[in-house]
Amino acid sequence: MAAQLKPGQGPLDYGSRLWLKILFGLIFFLLYAPIITLVAFSFNTDKRGIVWRGFTLDNYSKAWNNASLIEALTNSLVIAFLATLIATVLGALVALMLWRFRFPFKGGYEGFMALPIVIPEICMGVALLLFFVNSGMMDFFVAMPWPLNLGNIVIAHVSFCFPFVAVVVRSRLVGFNRQLEEASKDLGASEWQTFWSIIVPYMKPGLIAGALLAFTLSLDDFVITFFTSGPETVTFPVKVYSLVRRGVSPEINAASTVLIVITVVATVLAMKLQAPPKPRKG
């Protein structure tokens, strides 16, 4: 018989080894300590936000009453909403096309389509700025009333969000059983009916996950927005940046915490919806 193993000595008992525990602790600390500090100090009474003086919610009400901050937040949410909507539809169509059809240079297109995912944001920003300015779209949109003046930012956001949607939806479609489509047609459904009642329900988790990904990406984008926004338009990340330059205030902590909460909630939802349904016993 084999000798008795002590806990932690089994071949897969990594979790109970000391050096691994320390490494885990260190990584988690480095990752989350700054965020936790930021959230904690949003409840601080100290004006300069460096020393802990006591608990308060004042920062939140101040942030709420700061009209320019709220305007920036509204802009960000509107942009994120519109960009998500358009990017999801576009991304889903691209994914469907890549999944369904064969055409010349398909491989090339597939790589090219995903380019915005890997291109440095700064390059995207500069490129889009030049495009908007030279094509006259910049002047056109800036002169528009709200919310149409956000048009150029929405376009920019769509252009870097839709590849994410396309990639997520495409990977979902890979698992689709083509016989379901054939069965649907065999049962009398037209192409269009089959699409809406068989393929779209199958894509749904991918669509939702892709949409939430696009939403969070758009909501906290700074670089591209900074380059493509007109002089008057401010989004939330850009506003926070300009406030920070004038000195750190707990108000920014409060506003940032709100943004973190929105992003985290969206991400958790995305993960929940993308997870395969657990087979129930029955």
Partner 1 sequence: MSEPIVAIRNVSKKFPGGVIAVDDVSIDIAQNEFFALLGPSGCGKTTLLRMISGLETPTSGQIIIGGEDMALTPPNKRPTNMVFQSYAVFPHMTVAQNVAYGLKVTGVESSEIKRRVAEGLEMVKLTALADRKPDQMSGGQRQRVALARALVKRPKVLLLDEPLSALDAKLRDDMRMELTRLQETVGITFIIVTHDQDEALSMASRIAVMEKGAVQQIATPSELYEHPRNRFVADFIGKVNLIDATVLGQKGRSISCDAKGLGKIEIASDKAVGSSVSIAVRPEKLRISKGRPENKSVVKLEGTVRDVAYYGDTSHVVIEGKDGLNLSVNVQNDTRLGGAGVERGQKVWVQWAPEDSIILTE
Binding region for partner 1 (CB under 8 A): 177, 179-180, 182-190, 193, 197-198, 201-202, 277, 279-282
CA distance 40 to 96: 45
Closest CB to partner 1 among 127 and 189? 189
Report the DSSP beta bridge partners of residue 55: 44
Instruction: Decide: 88 and 210 in contact? Cβ < 8 Å.
Output: yes
Closest CB to partner 1 among 206 and 250? 206
Give ∠ CA 173-176-179 in degrees, rounded to 5: 145
CA distance 158 to 85: 9
Q: How far is the CB of 194 from partner 1 (least distance, A)?
A: 8
Q: How far is the CB of 225 from partner 1 (least distance, A)?
A: 38
Closest CB to partner 1 among 87 and 198? 198
Q: How far is the CB of 171 from partner 1 (least distance, A)?
A: 18
Amino acid at 265: V
Q: How far is the CB of 176 from partner 1 (least distance, A)?
A: 11
Closest CB to partner 1 among 107 and 282? 282
Closest CB to partner 1 among 61 and 197? 197
CA distance 119 to 203: 27
DSSP annotation string for 148-189? GGGHHHHHHHHHHHHHHHHHHHHHHHTT--HHHHHHHHHTT-
